[in-house]
Chains A and B, each alone.
Chain A
């Protein structure tokens, strides 16, 4: 155990002192997110919101042109709340605003009816806090305005918020888990290079001449990579939240579990490369040759349903497809390519397959 910690700490020190490695693993994915985020998220400061008038009174109709709403939101009328929610799920609108029955009479009598405040309901998508926060804030100030006008008496309206998981997600929300998946893939594949370098420079041979077990040495290398992968995940999540308001929707432990599984599957693939690459140069070349098809045929950067059938079939064989899909489902929702359990199973199968291949063919000298 002591040896494992020492080896892991030696690896982490070596990693943090290698500026090029630091840049590629940490800064590069961030640059990618900021760049693509800026391209895809431009010019959407005005949100479209579904308008469902459950009252139909002159007061409720007048709200449509109320400057507190009309000046900042684009309102689109739907007949029933169900229609509006369906439209929101498909991504046609960002939120749904439902005006309750009795709105007109409540305004007219200014709270004299029964005394209980009337609920005004807003449906928002919690996966995009920037959007849901803005819309909720706008409606809350409207409700506050009515209640103040009836000052001294009980409040007329109460803001009620409901969540709807929109299946259509924004381009940036689609991209963030993809970039994390890509970063984990690179982290794993590139683990081939230092291990081949250590074999070439006889560090592995020197280690083999000490009493430590080979599995301890390999475990320390894998743990180091996993730690870096988790740090990458945290940094990418933090940037997505701060810059684009995209929060982790699902269970953070499930998310971390998928990050670890995905990283392990690609580290195992990296060791497969290390098993067959005789030199550091050939390992670099094999990694470069592998990573582009793995990345661009996986569909992590485009919705799979928008691809031609041939490419969809190819993508169905790419492990990165399932890592991106699983991370996306837990992080922001959206239409799954396969159910989460299936994706996790496929990644686990890749991990086991690559592990067996490298356990069979990996050479120490």
Chain B
């Protein structure tokens, strides 16, 4: 892949950052899970961490939640040092873990009541049951819930102490589209109340819909930070021509098409041509294909999206 521009810090908020991370590092044996990252999240922001599996997102989040201790670097959350003031911190944050883990033989309501008892102040369980649309399942044991319902309960548990800052680790995984949209509404509602949300996600659409700013991570490093528009606009002024890969045309030929600035491949299945001249590029492509006696399939044109930024930065699509 092309492009290895240095990460450009962007839109760093004012001094009362809710999360402030400086040169954070964490190693497991031979694996440098987090390799010196810096970022800040401002009050009331919805901030996204995007990256493939193993990028270091979960390790970063778990250090900020006080579940792991960094090897080096500073991390303050709500003005508290995560290493030394974790127990004070835990009172004020909400945590949703990637794997929803619950007491299998307690009911939805009982689990919420139990977790509410862990905090000095808490939201009435029934209010959360309504907010997460679990009313019909309030007396069901958690082992009887569907994957999406379990996910909703684990989000409800993250909100049980009415936290100032909520960590959501892939919150919509396993949810159907309707539940996903209603969770998005919930996150927007949190932002409207001035709460801060740090989320990780595999869904580009979710990041584009929800995140005020986001950071793209890979191999323990932050590759780029900014708003969706900044990330896209900084990298692409072109539009993208996409088609199913034709092995007979090599990259050098493609790069010489009118207007093409860059050629990329998505998982060896599709070719992406970034171009300033869509009509000229498609004309040249059809001509080259005809010379080979084939026709490009799945031909389409789109404006660059977060997906393109991600692909350009990490060299692969996010679900790899």
**B-contacting residues of A (Cβ < 8 Å)?**
2-3, 6-7, 10, 13-14, 17-18, 198, 201-203, 205-206, 208-213, 365
Contacts and interface: CB of A to CB of B under 8 A. Distances in A.
Contacts of B110: 10, 13
Given A7-B114, A205-B67, A211-B118, A18 B99 contact: no
B22 interface: no
Interface residues of B, number: 25
Nearest to B141: A17
A107 B97 CA distance: 90
Given A3-B118, A202-B97, A13 B87 contact: no
Contact of B97 (A3, A13, A18, A205): A205
B90 A211 contact: yes
Nearest to A10: B114
A213 B141 CA distance: 26
Nearest to A206: B101
Contacts of A213: 87
A7 B116 CA distance: 11
Contact of A203 (B65, B66, B102): B102
- Which of B67, B95, B101, B114 has the most C-beta atoms of chain A within 10 angstroms of its own C-beta? B101
B67 A365 contact: yes
B105 interface: yes
Contacts of B175: none
- Which of A13, A201, A210, A212 has the most C-beta atoms of chain B within 10 angstroms of its own C-beta? A210
B101 A202 contact: yes
9 contacts: A10-B106, A13-B106, A14-B105, A17-B105, A205-B67, A205-B97, A209-B67, A210-B118, A213-B87
Contacts of B99: 201-202
Given A10-B103, A17-B105, A209 B114 contact: no
A96 to B, nearest CB: 56
B117 A6 contact: yes
Contacts of B65: 209
Given A6-B114, A13-B110, A209 B105 contact: no
Contacts of A13: 105-106, 110
Nearest to A14: B105
B141 A209 contact: no
Contacts of B91: 211
Given A3-B117, A10-B106, A211-B118, A201 B101 contact: yes
A198 B105 CA distance: 12
A64 to B, nearest CB: 66
B67 A203 contact: no
B145 to A, nearest CB: 14
- Which of A10, A201, A211 has the most C-beta atoms of chain B within 10 angstroms of its own C-beta? A211
Interface string B90-116: 110001010101111110001001110
B76 to A, nearest CB: 18
A209 B95 contact: yes
A363 to B, nearest CB: 13
Contacts of A365: 67
A324 B268 CA distance: 70
B114 A203 contact: no
B87 A211 contact: yes
Nearest to B167: A209
Nearest to A208: B67
A202 B96 CA distance: 11
Given A10-B110, A17-B105, A201-B101, A210 B67 contact: no
B97 A212 contact: no
Interface in B112-165: 113-115, 117-120, 141, 157
Contacts of B102: 203, 206
A196 to B, nearest CB: 13
Contacts of B119: 210-211
B101 A205 contact: yes
A205 B62 CA distance: 10
A13 B141 CA distance: 11
B147 to A, nearest CB: 14
A144 B33 CA distance: 91
A7 B141 CA distance: 17
B90 A209 contact: yes
Contacts of B114: 6-7, 10
B101 A209 contact: no
A205 B98 CA distance: 11
Contacts of B95: 206, 209-210
A213 B86 CA distance: 11
User: Which 10 A-B residue pairings sit nearest by Cβ, starting from the closest?
Assistant: A202-B101, A209-B95, A6-B117, A211-B90, A17-B105, A14-B105, A210-B118, A203-B101, A211-B91, A201-B101
A197 to B, nearest CB: 9
Contacts of A3: 117-118
Given A13-B110, A18-B105, A206 B118 contact: no
A210 B106 contact: no
Nearest to B95: A209
- Which of B90, B105, B106 has the most C-beta atoms of chain A within 10 angstroms of its own C-beta? B105
Nearest to A207: B118
B86 to A, nearest CB: 9
A201 B98 CA distance: 11
B97 A14 contact: no
B105 A206 contact: no
- Which of B66, B99, B113 has the most C-beta atoms of chain A within 10 angstroms of its own C-beta? B99
Nearest to B90: A211
A206 B99 CA distance: 10
Contacts of B97: 202, 205-206, 209
Contacts of A208: 67
A211 B66 CA distance: 10
Nearest to A202: B101
Contacts of B113: 6
Given A202-B101, A209-B95, A2 B67 contact: no
A290 to B, nearest CB: 26
Nearest to A204: B101
- Which of A17, A198, A202, A206 has the most C-beta atoms of chain B within 10 angstroms of its own C-beta? A206
B139 to A, nearest CB: 13
